[in-house]
Amino acid sequence: MRQQSDNLFVLTGGPGSGKTTLIEALKARGHSTMDEAGRGVIREQERSGGGGLPWIDPQRFAELMLEWELRSYRQAQRHDGPVFFDRGLPDTLGYLKLEGFEVPATMQEKALRLRYNRRAFVAPPWKAIYGNDEHRRQSWELAVRTYEVMCSTYAELGYELVELPRVSVEERVAFLVEAAAPAAPASSGRD
């Protein structure tokens, strides 16, 4: 049975395209957000000395990201208002595809069953803001390829892709908040 959660909004795209900065800005303005699984898993694995790191065991890393995303999804379902995700369940599938691994049927099934709002917001590659850090080691070329794989993965799962504009963080926040606002009920014409 498919679970549709219209109040759950996912941001996807390649690394270094401003997703996490946007999520942090939404959080600072009082909006409900869910952190990116990849960065969270890397921090946990480094802290615990675990081997589930993308540069050591990419398949285990994907399993840990899926577990993180499932927890985040369950937590977000308890919110009535909009919740903004820094990546979602389909990103784990996209990661496996990018790494050349087959997507396990159970992961595919979860991504088909546990749905976000039909509109997935995609941060396009943006060289002016792209940069590496201790957890982001991908080249610009791999960042662009990741963007392409995430777009195709979300489209294959039936999401409508909405590209985020290449504008200031404040303007991106306004764009997302407006897009997440519930539609006003249609007037019946009887006033």
Q: State pLDDT tens for residues 36-68.
A: 998 899 999 999 999 999 989 999 999 999 999
> To the nearest whole number, what is the mean pLDDT of the chain?
89
86, 33 contact by CB (below 8 A): yes
Q: How many domains does the chain have?
A: 1
Instruction: Using the predicted structure, report yes or no on whether residue 184 has a pLDDT greater than 60.
Output: no
Instruction: Using the predicted structure, report yes or no on whether residue 1 has a pLDDT greater than 60.
Output: no
pLDDT tier for residue 191 given thresholds of 50, 70 and 90: very low
What predicted TM-score, i.e. pTM, was given to this entire model?
0.88
Please indicate, yes or no, if residue 190 is contained in any of the structural domains.
Answer: no
Please indicate, yes or no, if residue 27 is contained in any of the structural domains.
Answer: yes
Please indicate, yes or no, if residue 191 is contained in any of the structural domains.
Answer: no
Please indicate, yes or no, if residue 58 is contained in any of the structural domains.
Answer: yes
Q: What is the CATH number of the domain that holds 165?
A: 3.40.50.300
Rounded Cα–Cα distance for residues 118 and 143 (Å): 24
Please indicate, yes or no, if residue 187 is contained in any of the structural domains.
Answer: no
Please indicate, yes or no, if residue 188 is contained in any of the structural domains.
Answer: no
The range of the structural domain enclosing residue 172 comes to 3-180
Give bridge partners of residue 163 from the DSSP assignment. 122
Residue whose structure tokens are 């159970």 = 106
What value does the mean pLDDT take over residues 171-188? 78
User: Which two three-digit tokens encode residue 169?
Assistant: 């963080």
Please indicate, yes or no, if residue 186 is contained in any of the structural domains.
Answer: no
Please indicate, yes or no, if residue 185 is contained in any of the structural domains.
Answer: no
